[in-house]
Amino acid sequence: MSRFILITTDTSFQQRVRSAVAGGLHGKVQFLAESAINSAPQDIVHQDPSEPPEVIILGPGVSVDEALKLATVMDLQFPEISVILAADASADLVLTAMRSGIRDIVSPGSDTATIRVLLERACLSAASRRRGLSSQGNSEQETGRVIAVMSPKGGVGKTTIATNLAIGLGTVAPMSVVIVDLDLQFGDVASGLSLDPEHTIVDAVTGAAAHDAMVLKAFLTVHSGGVYALCAPKVPSEADLVTADHVRRLIAQLASEFRYVVVDTAPGLGEHALATLEHATDAVWVVGMDIPSVKGLRTGLGILLELGLVPQGRHVVLNFANRHTGLNIQDVEATIRVPVDVVIPHSTAMPFATNKGVPILQDGGRNAATKSLRKLVERFEPDWGSQVHRKLHRRAVVS
């Protein structure tokens, strides 16, 4: 059970926090008067010695200056506790707050659902820091899996695969998944997830966020499916502001903070895709059931083998599988010279879900495409490698 301490003078905000916790966070809220902001951190934390808090929320009515002072001392004495500030955020306040140890900033007018997401994220962050403190000095920090979703050509459903993979992994590791849109000129992760991001990847690789993981998190967009997103620039010309070195540093930062980093790359083998592959633990190759796509994948794999940039985890996804195209699975495998791991049949439900901006794995529909996407997600579950798996039948039925 999680315990939350709330300091505020705003009864409406207090009620929304209580509703957010009651709505599925399995904890209790302890309310303290605004004067508690001047108390010593140990006096606040030890209000209930039997159950120390995981999250402290400094709500409306609390002096921002006093909140920052408390957060600074709290971060030194109790780094395992997440401190959230309710305030109208500005660029300067975000940077100052993160440097003071504030883990997140929430608008005072946020609704219950938004507050619940932030509190869940704060709990997970607190749990992660507790694990880190308990294992300090034992071994190097474990980094997350970096999954590059790639295709030699456009139009094969790569972004649809990437967004569904992220949403699927979000059920495996809630709030521990981030999807990055590296199709910098024409990326569609934002529309595929029905997001209107306040910040983009340009913000994340420039300024303070490039050197501070906590500041970086402030530039991520939270999706209702329990994942974070870092979206492509809204203006194609801004793509030139993101270099390959930026990408290398960004991927390393995110892998140190998240269990899964899903990277939706641009079609082809540009410098950003190659920079991603330098850090990738896995690559999901998406290929369509057409000769240009299949030949492009064969050429791309050959180039990457020569460069030594093929990750150990290789997953080939045959998308839009259809027996009426004149090709079959055996033809595809013979051409690319590696096995197909997941076959996703042609389905009208897929473009329908994409047009709605709701990934089909989040929509909850049941069809052959959904079943295949779940098989792809299963390949990244922690115990997948220890299980016995039946190989894909060479006469797999496609629509």
What CATH number is associated with residue 217? 3.40.50.300
Domain count, the chain: 2
- Would 21 be classed as within a structural domain? yes
- Would 261 be classed as within a structural domain? yes
Give the strand order in the sheet containing 82-86.
Answer: 27-32, 2-7, 55-58, 82-86, 102-106
One domain for residues 130 and 203: no
Long-range contacts of 346-350 (CB under 8 A, 24+ apart): 346/320, 346/321, 346/322, 346/398, 346/399, 347/399, 350/157, 350/160
- Would 389 be classed as within a structural domain? no
What CATH number is associated with residue 108? 3.40.50.2300
One domain for residues 42 and 125: yes
Per-residue model confidence (pLDDT) at position 396:
44
- Would 101 be classed as within a structural domain? yes
d(CA 203, CA 233): 9
One domain for residues 334 and 361: yes
- Would 266 be classed as within a structural domain? yes
One domain for residues 154 and 250: yes
Q: Tell which of 94, 112, 134 closes a domain.
A: 134
Per-residue model confidence (pLDDT) at position 131:
57
Per-residue pLDDT tens digits of the chain, which is 399 residues long: 458 999 999 999 999 999 988 876 767 899 999 888 888 888 888 877 667 788 999 999 999 999 999 988 888 788 888 899 999 878 788 878 877 888 888 999 999 988 988 888 788 777 766 655 555 444 445 789 999 999 988 889 999 999 999 999 998 888 789 999 999 999 999 999 999 888 899 999 987 778 777 678 778 888 878 889 999 999 999 999 999 999 999 999 999 889 999 999 999 999 999 999 999 999 999 999 899 999 999 999 999 999 999 898 999 999 988 887 888 889 899 999 999 999 999 888 888 888 888 899 988 778 889 999 999 999 998 877 656 555 554 444 444
Q: Tell which of 111, 134, 157 closes a domain.
A: 134
pTM (2 d.p.):
0.70
Query: Can you say whether the dihedral through the CA atoms of 358, 362, 367, 369 is positive or negative?
Result: positive
One domain for residues 102 and 155: no
- Would 172 be classed as within a structural domain? yes
One domain for residues 73 and 15: yes
Per-residue model confidence (pLDDT) at position 134:
54
One domain for residues 181 and 99: no
- Would 396 be classed as within a structural domain? no
Q: Tell which of 106, 134, 162 closes a domain.
A: 134
One domain for residues 153 and 228: yes
- Would 398 be classed as within a structural domain? no
Per-residue model confidence (pLDDT) at position 139:
44
One domain for residues 317 and 380: yes
**What is the extent of the structural domain holding 65?**
2-134
One domain for residues 20 and 163: no
Query: Is residue 342 left, alpha or beta, with left meaning phi > 0 and alpha meaning psi from -120 to 50?
Result: beta
One domain for residues 309 and 369: yes
Per-residue model confidence (pLDDT) at position 318:
94
One domain for residues 226 and 275: yes
